[in-house]
Structure 1
Amino acid sequence: MSCLTAEDVREVVKLQKEDGRCHLIKLLKWEVFDEEKDLRPGILLDYLYNTIIFAAEKGFPWPSVALAVHFSEELLYETKGKTMQDAVGKLRDKCEQYQNKLNPNYLQHLVNHFLRTFFRHYRLYQFVLCEVRELDQTIQNLEVHVPQEVPPLKDGIDVELWKYQQHIAVLNEAEAQLRANMTVFRETWQLKSEQELEKFYEDLKIQDKEVIERTILEKIVKDAHDIQVTVTSEILQKEVETAFQILDLKLQKRIVPLPVSRSFLSSATKETKAGKISIKKK
């Protein structure tokens, strides 16, 4: 059973409903629970919270409000599994126990409160207290995309001009990606060339003072040259392909028509009309 004091119930009443319920959980020393998954503690919490609010609104002194909570909690658990007739008998017994603790007027208000709430929904409370619920829930995690912050209207541009800028930005990004890929390709093949030449020289196994025949020397030079030529050829071919792709992107940027702003058209139209008016006046 709870041991709420006059100061405890006073703190609960001073708070808004949700904050008051959360504070009451701490005062009752309950574990935090999920009301969507487990209805029982949430219903019992509302039962006690509503008793506190009712007693406070009826003008009970704070010690009497705390007694009202004790009364309601004892009544709830002592009637668990009882019939309606037995529960009414328990209410009568509780009134006798508290007749010297609570003012008769306050006690009468409290009895009327339980008759209108607890006993009106007695079977529901018994179902919550006595029946074991089988939890069958499907939880879906939905990703929420928060909209971007809207920029000031003064920074707005014509929609056609915005589309044009977006298209140019895509072409520029594609060009930058081609250049970056070319740099990676060049560095990769240069590293491959260095590794192959290093392995080639290690496999020769020629002594420092050894005299090399002309034909052997020519073959060594040719093989080393072939390694470098192969790498250079691959790099050059890739650079030519990339250059043509970049030129194609530049051409696309040139042929994309630059939209004329509507504000410019409206101002030009006004200037034209003003010019016609001035001509007529002359």
Structure 2
Amino acid sequence: MSALKEEDVRQVVRLQKEDGRCLLIKLLKWETFDEEKDLKPGILLDYLYNTIIFAAEKGFPWPTVALAVCFSEELLHETEGKTMQEALQKLRDKCKQYQHKLNPNFLEHLVNHLLGTFFKHYRLYQFVLCEPREIDQTIYHLEVHIPEEVPPLKDGIDEKLWNYQKYMTELSEAEAQLRADMLAFRETMQLKSEQELEKFYEDLKFQEKEVVDRANLEKIVKDAHTIQMTIASEILQKEIETTFQVLDVKFQKITMPFPVSKSFHSSTKGIKIVTMRTKK
């Protein structure tokens, strides 16, 4: 049960509702809770908070406000699981218990308040207090993307021109990528050539001061030359393919018609072109 003091209820009343509710949780020494996941403590908190505000607005002295909260909380717990008739009997018993603690006028106001709130929604309170609540909740963590800052309208360009510039940029990027891929391929193949030649020379095991005849020497030179020419052929083939691809991109750049803006059409509209010839 709550043991709120005069100063406690005074501080709660002085605050705004949400701040007052948070302070009341601390004063009641409750653990923090999520009102969306756990409905019961939130309703109990509102029940006690509303009693404090009601008593204060009715002019109850601060000690009497604390007693009113104690009265309401005890009644709430004692009527848990009871029928309406049993709950009303508990209210009568509680009034007899507090008749020497509370001024009759204040006690009457408090009873009327409880009849108009707690007992008016008695079945709902009983449902919340007595029925276990199964939580079926799905939480989605959504990433919020803030829209980019819109540039000034004076910096805007015609849509066709924008699409043209965008397409040209994509072609330039494609051309640069083709050249970069070709450079990387050439370096890779040159490294492969060096590795194969190195392995080829390592596999040649000559004895010290061994004399190599002409036929074997010619075969060694031919095999080494074959390795180099194979790699060079692959590089050349790749360069030819890349060159044709680059030429195709350049051709697209040249043949892409430059868009004519509407403002140009409107400014030239109505202009009459006159050609003059001179007689010889």
Whether these two folds match at TM > 0.5 is yes
**Matched residue, 1:135:** 135
Per the TM alignment, residue 142 of structure 1 is displaced from its structure 2 partner at its CA by 4.9
Q: Summarize deviations over 1:152-182 as a string: whole Å, max 9, x none.
A: 2222222222222222222223223223322
RMSD over aligned Cα atoms? 3.2
Question: How many angstroms apart in 2 are the aligned matches of 1:97 and 1:206?
Answer: 117
CA distance in 2, matches of 1:6, 1:40: 26
Change (3 A) 1:152 1:14: farther
Query: 1 CA distance for matches of 2:219 and 2:8?
Result: 98
Residue 86 of structure 2 corresponds to 86
What's the % identity of the aligned pairs?
76
Report Cα offsets for 1:123-174 as digits up to 9, x if no partner: 1111111111233344555554443322222222222222222222222232
| Equivalent residue, structure 2, for 1:193 | 193
TM-score computed with the length of structure 2 as normaliser: 0.79
Give 1:280's aligned residue: none
| SS of residue paired to 2:81 | coil
Counterpart of 2:179, as a letter, is: R
- Structure 1 261/58 Cα, relative in aligned 2: closer, same or farther at 3 Å? farther
1:279 corresponding residue in structure 2: none
Question: Which secondary structure state, in structure 2, belongs to the residue aligned with residue 210 of structure 1?
Answer: coil
Q: Aligned ranges for residues 96-175 of structure 1 at < 5 Å?
A: 96-99=96-99, 101-140=101-140, 142=142, 144-175=144-175
What is the letter of the counterpart of residue 79 of structure 1? T
Flag the structure with higher helix content: 1
Q: Shift in Å at residue 89 of structure 1?
A: 2.7
Partners in 2 of 1:167 and 1:239 — Cα distance? Answer: 25
Which residue is 2:213 aligned to?
213
Partner amino acid for 1:190? Q
CA distance in 1, matches of 2:36, 2:104: 39
SS of the residue 1:70 aligns to = helix
- Distance 1:198-1:259 versus aligned 2 partners, 3 A rule: same
Asked if 1:257 corresponds to 2:265, the answer is no
Q: Which amino acid aligns with 1:243?
A: T
Letter matched to residue 148 of structure 1: E
Q: Which moved more, 1:121-130 or 1:26-35?
A: 26-35
Match of 2:69 in 1: 69
Q: Give, as a single letter, the amino acid of the residue that structure 2 aligns with 1:261.
A: S
Residues 246-255 or 90-99, more deviating: 90-99
Cα gap change, 1:187 to 1:118, in 2 (>3 Å):
farther
Shift of 1:33: 3.5
Residues 144 and 226 of structure 1: CA distance in aligned 2, closer, same or farther (over 3 Å): same
Q: Select the structure of larger CA radius of gyration.
A: 2
Which amino acid in 1 is paired with 2:51?
T
Going from structure 1 to structure 2, the CA distance change for 1:197 and 1:154 (only over 3 Å counts) comes to same
Residue of structure 1 in register with 2:49 after alignment: 49
Gaps of 5+ in 1: 274-282
AA aligned to 1:154 is: K
Q: Deviations over 1:240-261 (max 9, x none)?
A: 2122212212221222222233
Q: CA deviation at 1:69?
A: 3.5
TM-score (norm 1): 0.79
Shift of 1:232: 1.9
Q: Using the TM superposition, give the Cα deviation of residue 87 of structure 1 relative to its aligned residue in structure 2, in angstroms.
A: 1.8
Tell me, in whole angstroms, the C-alpha distance in 1 between the residues paired with 2:208 and 2:101.
113
Structure 1 counterpart SS, 2:210: coil
Q: How far does residue 17 in structure 1 lie from its aligned partner after superposition?
A: 4.1
Unaligned runs of 5+ in 2: 273-280
SS at match of 1:119: coil
